[in-house]
Structure 1
Amino acid sequence: MHQTDEKVGKYKLRWIIFFAILGSVTLSTIAATIVATIVTWLLKYEPSPVPFNTAANSTFDRNNEYILDFGNVNSETDLCSKMGRFILNKNGSAVDSAITTMICNGIMKPSAMGIGGGFLMTIYDRKNKQAHFLNAKDKAPLAAHRNMFNGTNEKSSKIGSLAIGVPGEVAGYWEAHQKFGKLAWFDLFEPNIQLCKIELKKVENEYPSYDKTCPQFCETIRIIAEQGANEFYNGTLGEMLIDDLTDQGSIMTIDDLKNYRVKWTDPIVSDFLNGTKLFTSNLPGSGGLLVLMLNIFDEFKFTRKNLIGLPNEIETYHRIIETWKYVYAIRSQMGDPDFTNMTDLMKNITSKDFARNIKNKIDDKRTFNEPSHYGGAENLLEDHGTSHMSVIAPNGDAVAVTSSLNGLYGSTIRSYQTGVLLNSAMDDFSIPSITNTYSLPGVNKNNEVEGGKRPLSSMVPSIITTPNGDVRMVIGAAGGTQITTSTSYVIARHLFMGDSIQRAISAPRIHHQLYPMAVSCGTLFPKRISLGLQKLGHVVKLSDTASSVIGLVQINGTVIGHLNSMG
């Protein structure tokens, strides 16, 4: 790992004032009066946070380079989104903003993400019209093997010390900042150090161990800010982390931390809708599956008319469901490309011909309830410990990043010396010896446990550009196996069918992942459409699971964000 940037001063009063402005700090009347006086003075020197959902006028500077009046940030926590926008206002890069927002969400949403997990990040450079993909997902410990869960409790891959993968979050922050950061490393952490001290106590009732580990976790954030990521992987923090995990039965060692490396690759790129370009996650993410879904939708030539009139609505939803079933069947062939050659498979599923062949197999008059009809062979487990962030910077750059602990609160194992809550990444592998919720074993040989391997993920952090290279949309989702379907659904409604981003994200959603053989829909999904789907042979079930889609769109220089969780 690299050495850290020089520490930038002591914590500044302006950050405390910043949180007061955002309404996150409760002050007494006297204290509020004092702060208000200081704020009046500080605002002469520092820009106020960018208001959300405000129009920005696009212009060109003297070098004919594309700029926006300001950028925008969208995440599942409003405070963290505001913090990310503040970083943009300080002339930080899109990556700077994303990192600060992620650290904040790890503090505010510890059930979903944090420095004990990992992430996938898609980055777009507007000036050069190039995209980059950073894989900072968790790895299996070197001592892990395909039979490690034999004879164990069936929940051992989900909860407990054996469920923990080597976390990549901090390494990912560092490597992204080294390549695309503008502000000092410490500056990205400084507001979060204050936030940790002020805010983390509020979640003690949600997770009882916080009262014991809050001070240690805040100190860990401060040490990483001052000393860099190397301290987490090859320093005292790493040693304390491994000591705690060893005491709790983990097979992870200090060598696992020392040998962890992120991976830079090209994103998956696909053209659709007459030159619109999609940049999305490469393996171990599910970007290839998202590309296939959108290519099939493109073959159907979905338009606004597909949402007008009950017969059209039923046919459109039927086609979407059938698309998902065929696509999810292919997932059972995918795996970590560092362990299995995925070149031919990825080339096939991202081709237009492959999409056309699947489109031609879809029968508008009926569905099939045998997984073998679609080529399916693997059941998919749901995970809910995930969070997504979307960023568009004033210079037109963009970041889409999805981070995860895998399950709610990950493995539920916490390092008491560091306060770090660890992931349950091992449950994303196909584990033959464990029968899952639907009584179907994992059978994907390419996704079986191996030491140093990364498991498959449903994450699809995506950036969509116009034919001239401007960012059109930044999108991703949280919600386990629903991530890919929800993202494709929102893109289809917005770009293909002409819904506003708000309407596309807020529209009642459906989901099908082949196993179980049923369409999941929330209580808000129209009864008339579900009845029509049942007449075509679909099994429709109400579901209390939810996905959260987080998107930003830019239309004629206006940057608008929206997020919504749907059951």
Structure 2
Amino acid sequence: MNALKLIMTPLFFIFVPAFSPAPVAKPLDESESTRFARTGRKGMVVADDEQSAELGAQVLRKGGNAIDAAVATAFGMAVTRPHFASLGGGGFLVFCPSPKTKSNSSCHVIDFREMAPFAATRDMYLKDGKAVANLSRNGALASGVPGITAGLLHALEKFGSKKRRELLATPIQWANQGIKVSTHTENAASRRWNEMNESARKIFGCGHEAEGPCRSGETLKQTDLARVLQAISVHGAAGFYKGSYAQKMVSEIRKAGGILTQQDFETYSPKERTPVRSFYKGYEVVTMPPPSSGGTVLLQMLAFLERADKAGQLKDGFGSVSALHAQIHAMKLAFADRAQHMGDPDFHRVPFEQLLATEYLNERWKSFDSGKANLNVSAGSPVAEPTHTTHFSVMDTAGNAAAITLTVNDYFGSGFVPAGTGVVMNNQMDDFSAQPGVPNLFGLVGAEANAITPGKRPLSSMSPTIVRDLDGNNRIVLGAAGGPRIITAVLQTLVNRLQFDMPLVDAIAAPRIHHQWKPVTVRIESNGLSAETKEKLTTMGYTIEAGGGLGVVHALERFASGRIVGAPDPRGEGATVAE
């Protein structure tokens, strides 16, 4: 029985006529795509953490389905990757059953994004009328109500086949006995060490917190977290949201200046929504609706690039100046609309149909000048950073697919661990627009649509996505970590795979670019573009800035033969584990 009431939101179905209606897809090249990748035929998990991916694969080997494996992997990562997959965070799940299963093969999405406390106010992060960034990023006041536990257990109860005690047994053991600290965890802790509270430092200091955080290779024990996981194993979601641990979390948060209450925890529920979807290159793209902006922005950009392709703008292939120019402009247009029009659909009418309507997209794309950058892009008027996230992709032997993205926002979220719980709390309140036009942690700006409101869920860039053929078979499962760069990383992976015919491993490894409207800079990866290409783009009017990796994509692809290829992003610590 569900420990929490599930909220069923009004359903909407987005079918975008702006895309070619059900075109015939070119067969994906299996031989080329599997040359340098790990493959399997029964099932696969591709994730940031090999230990948790192996746990998910073990569940598949024991007869579990894609949701069982995804839930096990997620709870595993709450232990092995607490800096971005803690129980104190939230996420989104896209699940598409195989058409071969007896159940309905329609795709489903679960929104378990964090929620603003009922005591939240529009100006809670303002001082003298101006936004104070640290208030929404660090400490107990920065947290929304966590959603991961509720979301995972709802998915398991509705679509899974295994018992939660079975899936939680190994993560509990890991938390009690300890896991080896990864280089990524050490680096993340080092970055946030000064913002962590005493309880967090005690856990992630491995016995030498006075000197600094755990070092790579050391053993990290999380016995408080093990007890919380045990309570969830026995009592379900109530063990996290209604029991003594919820009371302890609320007490510690409020003592430290936070405003979360027992009512906030007890009334939190995951929400089922209807995915946004359309066609691209003969395949159906199924992705996340708001409060994720990722799905709508992704579909807008793909639609813009179809227009560019028809005009011959992409004919010179990957990395060409003309193709890069078109991609940059598509990103700018879509991110401008994101800032102006998107928010939690339960509180703000998001004009989905209009944003994805043929006439609107055609009108927006008229601003594209093939010879130079358009520096005056603004949001349309439709008629009525480092990766702090983690994504993993799962497919089982029947072809059922799950794409799931989790986050606590920044590394180690707010840096606050309520004493006695081991739960790293999120700082997702920073994803609201504290003040229109003021950038958040990732440099994103927003409008009133994403303003702080009690019980509201902040806008997100998470973009779990599943690509299906016209027979409903799940072919590609992907998503990414990386704040707003999630959306552009998923975009470029799909364009590289389906437009430029790259094998999946190459489509992910290829250099990326990123533009999010504001700031006006085009970000590129170090050594990602040649000096000649950068010079040509600069001549066209673009400002180029080189930096680190732009998103971390983890994906898998299943061919008509039944073979599955896994492709973790070389920018991260990911791994592929086949059943």
Using the size of structure 2 for normalisation, the TM-score is 0.81
Give the AA of the match of 1:182: S
Q: 1:199 aligns with which of 149, 173, 178?
A: 178
Change (3 A) 1:365 1:391: same
User: 1:2 maps to what in 2?
Assistant: 2
1:231 aligns with 2:207: no
Change (3 A) 1:353 1:91: farther
Change (3 A) 1:448 1:562: same
Q: Distance in 1 between matches of 2:311 and 2:445?
A: 38
1:487-526 matches, cutoff 5 A? 487-526=490-529
Q: Distance in 1 between matches of 2:174 and 2:251?
A: 28
What is the Cα deviation at residue 205 of structure 1? 6.1
Structure 1: gaps spanning 5 or more residues: 5-51, 57-69
Change (3 A) 1:438 1:132: closer
- Tell me if the contact between 2:436 and 2:447 (Cα under 8 Å) persists in the aligned partners: no
Give the AA of the match of 2:328: I
User: 2:45 maps to what in 1?
Assistant: 73
User: 2:119 maps to what in 1?
Assistant: 143
The superposition leaves residues 297-339 of structure 1 with CA deviations (integer Å, 9 ceiling, x where unpaired) of 22233799947579x8100010000000000000121111111
1:192-271 matches, cutoff 5 A? 192-200=171-179, 202=181, 207=189, 208-210=201-203, 211=206, 214-271=222-279
User: 2:196 maps to what in 1?
Assistant: none
Give the AA of the match of 1:169: I
What is the Cα deviation at residue 543 of structure 1? 1.8
User: 1:176 maps to what in 2?
Assistant: 155
Give the AA of the match of 1:501: L
The superposition leaves residues 341-360 of structure 1 with CA deviations (integer Å, 9 ceiling, x where unpaired) of 22xx1002223343333333
Q: 2:168 aligns with which of 181, 189, 197?
A: 189
Give the AA of the match of 1:209: K
Task: Give the secondary-structure state (helix, strand or coil) at the position aligned to 1:418.
Answer: coil
Change (3 A) 1:303 1:415: farther
Higher RCO structure (Cα 8 Å, ≥6 apart): 2
What is the Cα deviation at residue 426 of structure 1? 0.2
1:147-546 matches, cutoff 5 A? 147-151=123-127, 153-200=132-179, 202=181, 207=189, 208-210=201-203, 211=206, 214-274=222-282, 276-286=283-293, 287-301=295-309, 306=314, 308=316, 313-332=320-339, 333-342=341-350, 345-370=351-376, 373-375=377-379, 382=385, 384-432=387-435, 435-436=438-439, 442-527=445-530, 528-544=532-548, 546=550
User: 1:38 maps to what in 2?
Assistant: none
Change (3 A) 1:243 1:482: same
Give the AA of the match of 1:356: N
Q: 1:132 aligns with which of 97, 108, 119?
A: 108
Task: Give the secondary-structure state (helix, strand or coil) at the position aligned to 1:390.
Answer: strand
Give the AA of the match of 1:171: A
Give the AA of the match of 2:170: P
Q: 1:555 aligns with which of 545, 559, 563?
A: 559
Change (3 A) 1:187 1:359: same
The superposition leaves residues 498-542 of structure 1 with CA deviations (integer Å, 9 ceiling, x where unpaired) of 000010000011100011111101112122322221121111111
Task: Give the secondary-structure state (helix, strand or coil) at the position aligned to 1:318.
Answer: helix
- Name which of structure 1's ranges 523-532 and 137-146 shifts more when overlaid on structure 2: 523-532
- Tell me if the contact between 2:434 and 2:452 (Cα under 8 Å) persists in the aligned partners: yes
Q: Distance in 1 between matches of 2:402 and 2:443?
A: 37
Give the AA of the match of 2:568: L
The superposition leaves residues 132-179 of structure 1 with CA deviations (integer Å, 9 ceiling, x where unpaired) of 010000000000011111228431101111110000110001111110
Using the size of structure 1 for normalisation, the TM-score is 0.83
The superposition leaves residues 208-227 of structure 1 with CA deviations (integer Å, 9 ceiling, x where unpaired) of 33148821111111221122
What is the Cα deviation at residue 434 of structure 1? 9.2
User: 2:218 maps to what in 1?
Assistant: none
What is the Cα deviation at residue 200 of structure 1? 3.8
Q: Distance in 1 between matches of 2:452 and 2:273?
A: 22
What is the Cα deviation at residue 439 of structure 1? 12
What is the Cα deviation at residue 429 of structure 1? 0.2
Q: Distance in 2 between matches of 1:317 and 1:148?
A: 41
Give the AA of the match of 2:67: V
Task: Give the secondary-structure state (helix, strand or coil) at the position aligned to 2:408.
Answer: strand
- Tell me if the contact between 2:46 and 2:393 (Cα under 8 Å) persists in the aligned partners: yes
- Tell me if the contact between 1:305 and 1:497 (Cα under 8 Å) persists in the aligned partners: no
- Say what the alpha-carbon RMSD is for the aligned residues: 2.6
Q: Distance in 1 between matches of 2:550 and 2:417?
A: 26
Change (3 A) 1:440 1:466: closer
Q: Distance in 1 between matches of 2:496 and 2:105?
A: 26
What is the Cα deviation at residue 272 of structure 1? 2.5
Q: Identity of counterpart residues, as a percentage?
A: 28
Task: Give the secondary-structure state (helix, strand or coil) at the position aligned to 1:524.
Answer: coil
User: 1:89 maps to what in 2?
Assistant: 61
Q: Distance in 1 between matches of 2:310 and 2:491?
A: 13
Q: Distance in 2 between matches of 1:261 and 1:414?
A: 22
Q: Distance in 2 between matches of 1:476 and 1:437?
A: 22
The structure with the largest alpha-carbon Rg is 1
Change (3 A) 1:282 1:107: same
Give the AA of the match of 2:161: K
What is the Cα deviation at residue 282 of structure 1? 0.8
- Tell me if the contact between 2:466 and 2:478 (Cα under 8 Å) persists in the aligned partners: yes
User: 1:29 maps to what in 2?
Assistant: none
Q: Distance in 2 between matches of 1:407 and 1:437?
A: 11
What is the Cα deviation at residue 201 of structure 1? 6.2
Q: Distance in 1 between matches of 2:67 and 2:565?
A: 19
- Tell me if the contact between 1:108 and 1:199 (Cα under 8 Å) persists in the aligned partners: no
